[in-house]
Amino acid sequence: MTNRRNVIKTLATGSVALPMSKLFAGNMNISDKSKPLKLKGNINHSVCQWTYNFLPLDDLCKLVKSIGFNAIDLIAPKDFQTLQKYGIYSSMCYTNGEISLTKGWNHTEYHPLLTQQFTEAIPIIQQNGYKDVICFSGSRDGMDDETGLKNCVEGLKPIVALAENNGVTVHMELLNSKVDHKDYMCDNHKWGVELCKRINSPNFKLLYDIYHMQIDEGDVIRTINDNHQYFGHYHTGGVPGRHEIDDTQELYYPAVMRAIVATGFKGYVAQEFIPAAQDKPASLKKAIEICDV
């Protein structure tokens, strides 16, 4: 199964459009004349580009527009112009350069490179009218929680200050270390919330990935209710398998979405499931319907 760790290695150097796009071309229905969804407006919808990377980015933009929403997640500055051509918003940005989930802010030896990447990217993000950029803790590699927290604070404080000056929010993603990202440090909300408290800025939040946290913690709705002030962005995904968020998996997403709406959340919820069905555009449209509470 394709995962983000493998895909993002190529995102920094060029848009991904895998050869399998030809295999699925007959089922894409990108020019489908069916009416866009009539969305309720309580959830700002998005989709993560890497999960639909069998489509060229231009075609994904067309698909998004045809469904009736207007945002794509995890876009680097090199692709901003493509989104803007279609009136699509970059709801979560990458920096330029190679992106690593394992070599993150918890190790000081990576601070110089990361500082350079974020220092260059944040003004570009602001100049293009976007407001959010993702970051990662990195792997433990034998490191204890407290050292990881201290190192992340040391490295991120100057970056968050720059983000504040540019109206940009830095989001550290919560990822599971049980199945997909072994040894990842920011694998539970308590560690992430403590990092937010120490950085103490409205421009530093957690990206609460529902799929990942269902695997490592469960108790999703209670966690959202109790900690929503620290969560600036959400990702979806079916558990187990990271496929469609329908009744083939263990979470009931309408209830999760209602809990998010009840907190007053005004950010974006991005679909991050890997479509397994033959009609993959239909899977995305159905996921938006499920989450549009």
List of the chain residues with pLDDT < 50:
1, 11-32
How far is it, in rounded angstroms, from Cα 207 to Cα 170? 9
Q: Express each pLDDT in 104-118 by its tens digit.
A: 999 999 999 999 999
- What is the third-level CATH fold of 4-291? TIM Barrel (3.20.20)
The strand pair at 204-209 and 71-75 is best described as unpaired
Is there a contact between 76 and 12 (Cβ–Cβ < 8 Å)?
A: yes
Is there a contact between 239 and 250 (Cβ–Cβ < 8 Å)?
A: yes
Q: Express each pLDDT in 39-90 by its tens digit.
A: 999 999 999 999 999 999 999 999 999 999 999 999 999 999 999 999 999 9
- pLDDT value of position 99: 85
- Coil, strand or helix at 204: strand
Is there a contact between 239 and 274 (Cβ–Cβ < 8 Å)?
A: no
Is there a contact between 95 and 120 (Cβ–Cβ < 8 Å)?
A: yes
* Residue 172, strand partner residues: 135, 206
112 burial via Cβ count (<10 Å: 0-12, 13-18, 19+): exposed
Q: Cis omega before residue 240 (within 30°)?
A: yes
- pLDDT value of position 6: 57
Domain boundaries, the chain: 4-291
- Residue 275 makes CB contacts below 8 A (sequence gap 6+) with 51, 52, 243, 244, 283, 284
81 burial via Cβ count (<10 Å: 0-12, 13-18, 19+): exposed
